[in-house]
Amino acid sequence: MPHRSESERIAALDAALEALCGAFGPSGHEFQGVAERIAEMVRPLADELRFDALGNLICIRRGAPGAKRVMLSAHMDQCGLMVTEITDGGFLRVAPLGGLKPSLLFYRQVVFANGVRGIISHESAVKENEAELKHLYVDIGARDGKEAGELVSVADVCAYAPFAVRLHGGLFSAPAADDRAGCAVLIEALRELESPAYELAAVFSVQEELGLRGATVSAYGLRPDLAVALDVCPTGDTPNAQPLGIKLGSGPALKVMDAHSVSHVGLRGHMQSKASELGIPVQLEILPYGGTDAAAMQKSRAGIPAATLSIPSRYVHSAVETVSLHDAEKAVRLLAALLEDPAAGGL
């Protein structure tokens, strides 16, 4: 692998995360920003680069002749909101794209693909702790419905307005870190590679937040022999949090199971052994809810051995998703080492 120091990898991840989290890309609308930004970043690292019919960005990196194919999937979509109605008063009613709770949305700034910005609020007669998504609206500053309709249309989508904050200890906080953190790790792992032991199909998938749709079709078309998803996972290290056993800054996590998949035991074990060999601390993730692209990949065709390499994140699906650059750097090193080791091909 090219020699880069830990600090150089962290700096590269920081820059990649800022660029990716600043790109627009709600589920189903990745083409309006983030897809092209990722394409620009991975084009020098690819032997072949293409978009499929659903919008997945597929980056092929060739290995030795006859090598097994490994699919790596990091979803590039983010949760968002779609305009369903423009009121006479110029406010926007919206529906969710992905799993957004009302409490995460109050008084947040959002942005549309055309640059129009707005503020989310709720009907004043409804208490915050009782508000449902149907009680929310977006205020874009329009004086009436006619003016609002000149700025946005029904079916337009918005997402949290981008910003990035660096916290103490190498923490990076921004909207869309789920899963632009996974995208950044995948990009930087491709950059680390000199001699992949496999043919790699790095997929930056679409519509994960709407039911793993992108990974479903790309896995079917690519027919990989092995598959690894890269995604964030929630932590249990904040006050009175659900006890999940995952802490920020304690290394990447290897998913054991979630509500939609059980990681292939042999592949997960190989990943854990490789981490131990490299001296990289890893955590075991057992999640009673949620799911990743691994669930779609492992059920493709007659079945594919699949696992998930997770980047711990606080405040998932909020406007302040927070990850550790140190965890991400360790994930880059582990993933690159796995892809240069032919041992997993025997699973």
Q: Using CA atoms, how far apart are residues 10 and 328, in angstroms rounded to an integer?
A: 8
Q: Report the candidate in 166, 184, 163, 185 with the shortest Cα–Cα distance to residue 174.
A: 163
C-alpha 153/C-alpha 98 separation (Å) is 20
Say if strands 136-139 and 226-234 run parallel, antiparallel, or are unpaired: unpaired
The strand pairing partners of 167, in sequence order, are: 171
Does 8 show up as a binding residue in the annotation? no
- Cα-based distances in Å from 127 to 103, 121, 131, 313: 11, 11, 6, 29
Alpha helices in the chain (DSSP H): 6-21, 34-42, 102-105, 145-151, 177-192, 213-222, 265-278, 293-298, 325-339
178 appears as a binding residue in the annotation: yes
Cβ atoms of 335 and 270 closer than 8 Å: no
What gap in Å lies between CA 293 and CA 304, rounded to an integer?
Answer: 12
Q: Is 115 left (phi over 0), alpha (psi -120 to 50) or beta?
A: left
The strand pair at 117-122 and 69-75 is best described as unpaired
CB count within 10 Å of CB 346 equals 8
Q: Is 26 helix (H, G, I), strand (E, B) or coil?
A: strand
270 has binding-site annotation? no
Cα 221 off chain centre by: 21
What residues are annotated to the active site?
208
Distance from C-alpha of 232 to C-alpha of 283, rounded to nearest angstrom: 13
Positions at the binding site for Zn(2+): 75, 178, 209, 231, 317
Positions at the binding site: 75, 178, 209, 231, 317
